[in-house]
Structure 1
Amino acid sequence: MNMKSTLFKSASLLGALCLAISGCSQTKPANNDAETTVYFNANIITQNPDMPRADYMAVSQGKITAIGLGDDVDITEPLLGAANRLDMNGATVTPGFIDSHVHVRELGLDAVKADLVGVKNVEDIVARLKAYAPNPTPGQWIIGQGWDEGYFGSVGYPDRAALDAAFPDNPVGLESLHGFAGFYNGAALAVAGIDVNSPDPEVGTILRRENGEPTGVMLTLAQGLVNQHKPKRTQAQLEEAIKAGLLKMGRAGVTSVHEAGMAADDVDAFLTLAERGELPIRVYGMLDGNNETLMQDWFARGALDDPDDWLDIRGVKVFYDGSLGSRTALMAAPYSDHPERANPTERITPDAVLSLGEQSAEHKFQMAVHAIGDEGNNRTLGLYERALSTQPAHDHRWRIEHAQVVLPDFYDRLAALGGIASVQSSHAVGDSGWAEDRVGPDRIKHAYAWRRILDAGGRLALNSDLPGEPWEPMETLYFAVTRKRLDGTSADDGTADDGWYVDQALSVNEAMHAMTVENAYAAYQEDALGSLAIGNWADFVVLSDDPAAVAPDAIKDIDVTQTFVAGKPLNEFKASKE
């Protein structure tokens, strides 16, 4: 069965379309062609430089067949043929947003974990866990996520004593906001056999009390010592989590995602969903490059390129260094605050990254390396330059995921390489309370420096890295334009201001371009996705307001009222298991 053949099996009824968009009206010509719908009287932001704005668009069999300007659409014109007509009443229409760095399985799974986002101390953590699991069965694991390792890295990491007292009979495993630390109680450490005599793993750190006992906090790969003992999800549960995450994203206006770091079981789940026609939005897969067995299998197999763009697998996502918040990112000079607490981490050797790069170039896979620290980014660029120099020139579009803190020569080197900086606007505002403490007033000028990347001629892909921070497209856009948190501040004292290093902010048009066209380019899909043009897939969203017409601070309040994928409203999606 074609992987897309059952995705949208039934044709959309015009009445259902009309209900999906508040206040729309419809007319049908006498000679009706039910396969074509014309959306007119719309404010269409096309992201097509040849026609930046339009007010009508015709869609047939999932693709755009006409788009243009006019006071109305004459349904008798040969260009449009006989068609259903849908009056949009001036609503703003944009290309569907593409989130080019996500962990969608985790988004789906987070719904069944204790939510720890925003906790400020261990007492907050215990209170959240008590509300989540007031009477747990002895021996049952309690899983939570969302405590901010960057914030706690500034105020002091928590100790497990309060967790031990609250849950003496239950292993507790708490994932951090960005995934670079875990927090465990004594019962979980006992299950894993971790005690005062346990050595640190080769890559990772067990934080310890003065007497050598583990505090319960494990950095980077040390988490795996305990996580391997947590209950594993079944394949059916993974599939349901992925589907739930994709649907949630779709309803928020995302029509395509780039899944960053597919493990082997993730690949199986995505492939199964695609074959069953149960992917509600499009997926571009980046394989877990740290898994040598998985990569050798895929290099032998070759990239997956679906002509209908429901599931492509072509990327190689490599975790190289750590994070700034946990002081595990690779820096060229010591951390400015508490260098004695830093544990710079290489999660994979440079030789292994170089080998992956050479094989990726040979087999036409796209490298995408996680690099946070300035030295991590410097080494990644150097490895890219070496790997590509040994191969015939090709359209590689290699990416650096995060490009968070960089050296001054980074911008010109990235542009000369033809690489892509894949950045997260939420990280800048989420880290604004402590990032300058980590790197000091000079290096911070080359951190989250999106404007410098663009000014040097580099390409910028803008995304969320969900589920670690607020991720909905209007939030991502707001962060990029204002460099403010959702409460209008960028400082921990809660006072309103003009934004954090706002000289590096993007304009609305630049940010929207990076969230659509550039993200499509970053997946080799710019000829089919990212802009509303004839021949492209009809992936689009309807907004309550025009982001370019409202005050920047109001962007976050814009609603996505409907999402269309291949011309069909997402609220009509029915997963098929035939």
Structure 2
Amino acid sequence: MGRLWYNGSIYTMEHEDSITEAVYTESGWIKATGTKEMLEKEYQPAEEINLQGAAMYPGFTDSHLHMLGLGETMLSLDLSDITSATEMKQALQKRTESLKNGEWLIGEGWNENNFSDRKIFHRTELDEIAPNNPILLTRICRHASLVNSATLKKADITKDTTNPEGGIIVRDEDGEATGYLLDQAADLIKKILPPVKDEQLRTALRMAVSSMLEQGLTGGHTEDLNYYGSFQRTFRTFQDVINENGIKFRTNLLVHHGVLNDMKELGYKYGRIDDYLSFGAVKIFADGAIGGRTALLRSPYYDNPETSGVAIHSKDGLKHIVKEARASNMPVAIHVIGDLALEYAIEAIEEYPPPEGEKDRLIHAQITPPDLVERLQNLAVTFDLQPRFVLSDFPWVEERLGEERLHHSFAWKTLLDAGLDCAGSSDAPIEPVSPLQGIHAAISRKLPTDTTHQGYIPAQKLTRFEAVSLYTTGSAAAVGKENELGKIAAGYRADFTILEEDIFHIPLDSIVDVSIAGTVIEGEFQYDTAKEQRRK
């Protein structure tokens, strides 16, 4: 059944200010664009969708997040909005009131940089809050965790336990664990968590998909397959939920290198599974995060010269994993935040280039010095950027990096001007999954409430077109779908994000408040606030 979409500002994203009056879709594809009169005459559509003055864009896609993690956060104790140690203590105490003895207290998203005293809780303080419950609190960056004594005991972490490769058990002056675990050390706790039931996983994923559709997202590139018992179990969750009850959502599944062999042994291959599910690049962590001082830097942290961060893998170890990915004819997606981690990744990709026609992905890339940008221009890579990180990490990140490094940090404009492909994402649940918040952050580099602020490193601000491109053409290019997704043009998928207001022409700080009018995948509404009012 063919549909005609009209009476709105329809941005094709083929180039800046490219607008069409109407779009004709059929069987999930865009057949033509042009004037309403011309398309009606040529195609005689069975149904017409009156946009009623709304603005329509190619479907927004989040290029890097953790969908099951997002759903889990929605089901657990959310600490992301807490702004003081006292408030965090109160939230934990309140949660213990609803727990049975021995039941786990699990919280997500704490960020000590939002506290005036930057307090990091000690295990003994957590013992006082929950004397009868093991605690696991995951930091906003997901590269650090807090636990109490009961949890350390369950994990058999003692004074004699050595640091795991790529992780640090923070200790006091007597060598005892403080309860603060960095990067791979947190995996020692994840191994002893009570198993998540299948239905809990499905519920979490349903909630994540529903939330993303309500935020105007038509797709997401997600990394979850290594965290919930087994590759097969987690993948089956996506198979069960995506397309469930007719709900469509385009999902690209990054394959953590730890489960690459599992994928192959089960007979799966890189690429398309069906219209909505596909296996993506091999995910590799090269370092941690700036907040916990585990991002791997070329020179020490400005506010702690004793450390330069954590290498999750040695330089040769990283190269070996990339080589294994190439043996499977797959691109890689490498988490790199520090400049030394980025250098390691570049060397590995230079030595082992991606398969013909494929692009590797560099996730985060928060510190990009000029010499590395120059080398990157010779590689087939796409950057997965998180514009909201600017709002979360400044101004405290200046203390970590110092002024000199700051000039080439969070440098999204520099990357685009260098001709490098960039895609937009949230890294949810670390940041809100809203693409509008990401778009606003990329343009303004400040909170919408900071009316007099000029933005952090204002020279790196993106134009509105560049910011929207991150979530449309950029995300499509990241998975090699630039000829199928990301534009409103003949031959492209009929995936649309419909907004009640035109974000190219409203006051900048109003972008975050724009309502989602509809989310369309393959020409079908998956989320629609107007329902039948638009149809005739």
TM-score greater than 0.5 by the shorter chain: yes
What is residue 268 of structure 1 aligned with on the other side?
236
SS of the equivalent of 1:516 reads helix
Query: What amino acid is aligned across from residue 332 of structure 1 in structure 2?
Result: R
1:102 correspondence with 2:65: yes
Among 224, 239, 248, the residue aligned to 2:187: 224
Question: CA separation in 2, counterparts of 1:81 and 1:51?
Answer: 28
Q: Kindly tell me: are residues 434 and 294 of structure 1, through their superposed partners in 2, closer, same or farther at Cα, counting changes over 3 Å? A: farther
1:40 correspondence with 2:14: no
Q: Kindly tell me: are residues 486 and 140 of structure 1, through their superposed partners in 2, closer, same or farther at Cα, counting changes over 3 Å? A: farther
Deviation at residue 405 of structure 1 after TM alignment? 0.8
> Is contact 1:40-1:57 (8 Å) kept?
yes
Unaligned runs of 5+ in 1: 1-34, 490-495, 574-578
> Is contact 2:84-2:114 (8 Å) kept?
no
Question: CA separation in 2, counterparts of 1:535 and 1:523?
Answer: 17
SS of the equivalent of 1:257 reads strand
Question: CA separation in 2, counterparts of 1:471 and 1:572?
Answer: 18
> Is contact 1:94-1:540 (8 Å) kept?
yes
More deviation, 113-122/86-95: 113-122
What is residue 534 of structure 2 aligned with on the other side?
none
What is residue 18 of structure 1 aligned with on the other side?
none
1:332 correspondence with 2:298: yes
Deviation at residue 272 of structure 1 after TM alignment? 3.8
Question: How many equivalent residue pairs?
Answer: 524
Question: CA separation in 2, counterparts of 1:409 and 1:295?
Answer: 37
What is residue 536 of structure 1 aligned with on the other side?
492
1:73 correspondence with 2:37: yes
1:128 correspondence with 2:86: no
What is residue 190 of structure 1 aligned with on the other side?
153
Normalised to the residue count of structure 1, the TM-score between the two structures is 0.85
What is residue 511 of structure 1 aligned with on the other side?
467
Q: Kindly tell me: are residues 504 and 225 of structure 1, through their superposed partners in 2, closer, same or farther at Cα, counting changes over 3 Å? A: same
Deviation at residue 385 of structure 1 after TM alignment? 0.3
> Is contact 1:519-1:530 (8 Å) kept?
yes
Question: CA separation in 1, counterparts of 2:450 and 2:422?
Answer: 25
Query: What amino acid is aligned across from residue 303 of structure 1 in structure 2?
Result: Y
1:444 correspondence with 2:411: no
Among 323, 343, 355, the residue aligned to 1:378: 343
Question: CA separation in 2, counterparts of 1:225 and 1:408?
Answer: 38
Among 287, 298, 302, the residue aligned to 1:321: 287
Query: What amino acid is aligned across from residue 366 of structure 1 in structure 2?
Result: P
Q: Where does 1:290-305 land on structure 2 (aligned, <5 Å)?
A: 290-291=258-259, 293-294=261-262, 297=265, 301-305=268-272
More deviation, 103-112/564-573: 564-573
Q: Kindly tell me: are residues 349 and 65 of structure 1, through their superposed partners in 2, closer, same or farther at Cα, counting changes over 3 Å? A: same
What is residue 100 of structure 2 aligned with on the other side?
137
More deviation, 421-430/149-158: 149-158
Deviation at residue 150 of structure 1 after TM alignment? 5.4
Deviation at residue 73 of structure 1 after TM alignment? 3.0
Deviation at residue 274 of structure 1 after TM alignment? 4.7
Deviation at residue 121 of structure 1 after TM alignment? 4.2
Q: Kindly tell me: are residues 535 and 296 of structure 1, through their superposed partners in 2, closer, same or farther at Cα, counting changes over 3 Å? A: closer
Among 248, 270, 281, the residue aligned to 1:280: 248
Deviation at residue 306 of structure 1 after TM alignment? 3.7
What is residue 326 of structure 2 aligned with on the other side?
361
Deviation at residue 204 of structure 1 after TM alignment? 1.3
Deviation at residue 447 of structure 1 after TM alignment? 0.6
Question: CA separation in 1, counterparts of 2:155 and 2:298?
Answer: 35
SS of the equivalent of 1:331 reads coil
Question: CA separation in 2, counterparts of 1:76 and 1:424?
Answer: 41
More deviation, 531-540/209-218: 209-218
Deviation at residue 117 of structure 1 after TM alignment? 0.9
Query: What amino acid is aligned across from residue 38 of structure 1 in structure 2?
Result: L
SS of the equivalent of 1:369 reads strand
> Is contact 2:219-2:251 (8 Å) kept?
yes
Deviation at residue 47 of structure 1 after TM alignment? 1.1
What is residue 568 of structure 1 aligned with on the other side?
524
Q: Kindly tell me: are residues 56 and 278 of structure 1, through their superposed partners in 2, closer, same or farther at Cα, counting changes over 3 Å? A: closer
SS of the equivalent of 2:321 reads helix
Question: CA separation in 2, counterparts of 1:323 and 1:163?
Answer: 24
Query: What amino acid is aligned across from residue 87 of structure 2 in structure 1?
Result: D
Unaligned runs of 5+ in 2: 530-536
SS of the equivalent of 2:518 reads strand
Deviation at residue 262 of structure 1 after TM alignment? 2.3
What is residue 413 of structure 1 aligned with on the other side?
375
Deviation at residue 137 of structure 1 after TM alignment? 0.7
1:183-230: per-residue Cα shift (whole Å, max 9, x none)?
111222222222334332233112223333322111111112222221
Q: Kindly tell me: are residues 441 and 75 of structure 1, through their superposed partners in 2, closer, same or farther at Cα, counting changes over 3 Å? A: closer
1:230-274: per-residue Cα shift (whole Å, max 9, x none)?
112122322221222112101100101001352213223223445
Identity percentage of aligned residues: 28
Deviation at residue 398 of structure 1 after TM alignment? 0.7
